[in-house]
Chains A and B, each alone.
Chain A
């Protein structure tokens, strides 16, 4: 049976709760309601109010207490109702959670996964559309994941919940119930190790490197470019930290052209990081300057006209593809 993105994550949570008796889930409205989007539906009924906590509305307390629970032997899934609200728990994440292992010289490890719905294109406006992964990529000690398919979401979530490192898991909410990407999920205990990019389409003329819902924009752009005889490869990095540089470098060695696409603002965004690493390690492969297609350096506005103006689009991606090919 085909399952959607949301169901895949829900299954991962249920399986890990079953498999790991020391796992706790905490978040706003995750128990009685089953989560704003329904990702945690059924968890409290099955595992009780002790292990599935409806927290008071405080992201700082949610994340900070997850740190304490982890310090005292637990694995914690902490939900942000929208990833945008993570800013209210920022200090606990970047200064407490992220650095714990480092400042204890490896004595303490943190089994905390922070996950939440993210991303634009849904008319969510400034505070229900963010991709704020760059804030955390710039804070050493946090692994960052952003899958684009149901099976990747499931396998990566299960890995995250077993990795004794802080993990930040961006769930693209526009994909949650997108039937077009629903798929059969792999049988059994399906786990995907971090740091492995996935080649979503092979091509020889240029490489799109992307993640999250922009994967689908790039695939569409690759279709359009193919009509003009340009063969684009599409790489979904799946995890930002750690980053699978090898897969990207191999691709660039073949295509000699790079366009990085993500929906966060351009300045100091993760697209820039990818470009910098490839420029460093793959300079000799490049036949054109690597380009970024990102959100403009603006917030995400509400009205559709405005939102589409500032976010990456298939047209903008196609244009960038043509630019590197014609260089």
Chain B
């Protein structure tokens, strides 16, 4: 139980106070090393927090690996959009949020639903995130899901936990996020809304219409662009003519950060700067996280993806495993020892190559709880199909 750090105290204002005014102009914020503040948000993290970030990477990976295996065995219905190799984007962006901040995850962000506000304690019932039980019930298409299995997979949310519900229509949650932020601003609040969006989906008109609205009203909306190099079977150069999707920000005069999406600490740094920007009333921003989709678009696409993506590209894209990168940082900082670093070796392995031994036991146990609950949860009763069209 090496990385088991128990419950975390309620989130403190990690790193946000550290933002200097240097990021005041849109052009200065495109993260070049020279533009970065003297002290990075990560510099304010304790050893325990470093270790917790690390452990959360394992949790996100294990969740994905487990679902891939369950899906292969035919135990799940619907499509699994794997977040394998993209975990640092989720973990790094969620870690520093305050419990009351809002998020809007989409298809590839399934772990985000239960990883929101994990810092308030994995088992804390008042935590501002979904429980692992709720998320597993959803994946298993059971009535125990917050959406009672009415819509599939990531199309869930929870108002009380400040998680916005998405539809399938890509980028469709961004105007909703802007509306949430507007209402909060009107009420004098200082919560931030973090939205997730694939790079391909930035081509949707509503993406731009929403960010424009947010920019006009200086709303605290942080849009994370998960640039995993592929939008289904379409490579990035056919989706956007520029290399950096962060430049989408330029047209709205808002900051556009670029993070190494494989490096959880870099994601943390950039998102915290963007969050601080929003929280201080300066408006929306974009954080492009450069990453790589490990598998097919969805599990149905694995075989075809192996044909339309050049093998060397896939090999390179998967070579920088976020768990390995974080592990190296922890070693360098002396936060874990050489021998501790070899305890769990999930990195660099495909889902099928991993076993439970490759993950911290508390991570395995956490998910088991969710799965056990899901298996026991009943299917929704047929009559529910006609309920809730209107409020009665």
Residue ID in chain A nearest B387 by CB atoms: A298
Does B392 reach chain A (CB closer than 8 Å)? no
The secondary-structure label for the interface of chain B is loop
Chain B residues 360-388 with CB under 8 Å of chain A are: 379-386
Tell me whether B155 and A125 are in contact (CB under 8 A): yes
Tell me whether A126 and B304 are in contact (CB under 8 A): no
- What CA separation (Å) do A33 and B232 show in the bound complex? 8
- What CA separation (Å) do A204 and B234 show in the bound complex? 53
Tell me whether A33 and B233 are in contact (CB under 8 A): yes
Q: How far is the CB of B112 from chain A (nearest CB, A)?
A: 20
Tell me whether A126 and B308 are in contact (CB under 8 A): no
Which of B204, B231, B382 is A306 in contact with, Cβ under 8 Å? B382
Does A233 reach chain B (CB closer than 8 Å)? no
Q: How far is the CB of A207 from chain B (nearest CB, A)?
A: 28
Q: How far is the CB of B11 from chain A (nearest CB, A)?
A: 33
Which residues on B sit within 8 Å (CB–CB) of A32? 233-235, 308
Does A152 reach chain B (CB closer than 8 Å)? no
Tell me whether B232 and A28 are in contact (CB under 8 A): yes
Does A36 reach chain B (CB closer than 8 Å)? yes
Which residues on A sit within 8 Å (CB–CB) of B250? none
Which of A123, A127, A297, A298 is B168 in contact with, Cβ under 8 Å? A127
Chain A residues 268-327 with CB under 8 Å of chain B are: 296-299, 301-310
Decide: A58 near B168, CB < 8 A? Known: A302-B141, A302-B152.
no
- What CA separation (Å) do A88 and B379 show in the bound complex? 32
- What CA separation (Å) do A105 and B71 show in the bound complex? 56
Tell me whether B152 and A306 are in contact (CB under 8 A): no
Which residues on B sit within 8 Å (CB–CB) of A54? 233-234, 238
- What CA separation (Å) do A278 and B384 show in the bound complex? 34
Q: How far is the CB of A31 from chain B (nearest CB, A)?
A: 8
Does B329 reach chain A (CB closer than 8 Å)? no
Does A128 reach chain B (CB closer than 8 Å)? yes
Does A186 reach chain B (CB closer than 8 Å)? no
Tell me whether B169 and A88 are in contact (CB under 8 A): yes
Total A-B residue contacts, Cβ distance less than 8 Å: 120
Tell me whether A297 and B308 are in contact (CB under 8 A): no
Tell me whether B385 and A309 are in contact (CB under 8 A): yes
Tell me whether A303 and B141 are in contact (CB under 8 A): yes
Tell me whether B385 and A307 are in contact (CB under 8 A): yes
Q: How far is the CB of A267 from chain B (nearest CB, A)?
A: 11
Does B280 reach chain A (CB closer than 8 Å)? no
Does B344 reach chain A (CB closer than 8 Å)? no
Q: How far is the CB of B92 from chain A (nearest CB, A)?
A: 25
Decide: A302 near B151, CB < 8 A? Known: A56-B240, A87-B169, A128-B168.
yes
Tell me whether B233 and A306 are in contact (CB under 8 A): no
Decide: A123 near B232, CB < 8 A? Known: A57-B203, A85-B169, A87-B169.
no
- What CA separation (Å) do A32 and B385 show in the bound complex? 39
Tell me whether B385 and A123 are in contact (CB under 8 A): no
Tell me whether A127 and B233 are in contact (CB under 8 A): no
Tell me whether A301 and B151 are in contact (CB under 8 A): yes
Decide: A123 near B203, CB < 8 A? Known: A32-B233, A306-B385.
no
Does B77 reach chain A (CB closer than 8 Å)? yes
Which of A84, A124, A298, A308 is B382 in contact with, Cβ under 8 Å? A308
Chain B residues 130-152 with CB under 8 Å of chain A are: 141-143, 149-152
Chain A residues 186-240 with CB under 8 Å of chain B are: none
Chain B residues 111-161 with CB under 8 Å of chain A are: 141-143, 149-152, 155
Known: A54-B233, A82-B168, A306-B149. 14 other contacts (CB 8 A): A29-B231, A33-B233, A36-B232, A57-B170, A57-B234, A61-B205, A125-B150, A125-B152, A125-B155, A296-B386, A297-B389, A301-B384, A303-B379, A305-B379
Q: 21 A-B Cβ contacts within 8 A? A: A28-B232, A32-B308, A33-B232, A33-B233, A55-B238, A56-B203, A56-B238, A56-B240, A57-B201, A57-B234, A84-B168, A85-B169, A124-B152, A126-B150, A127-B169, A301-B385, A302-B78, A302-B149, A303-B149, A306-B150, A308-B382
Give the 5 A-B CB pairs with smallest separation, nearest first: A33-B233, A127-B168, A56-B203, A306-B385, A309-B385
Residues of chain A touching chain B, judged by Cβ–Cβ distance below 8 Å, are 28-29, 32-34, 36, 54-58, 60-61, 81-82, 84-85, 87-88, 123-128, 296-299, 301-310
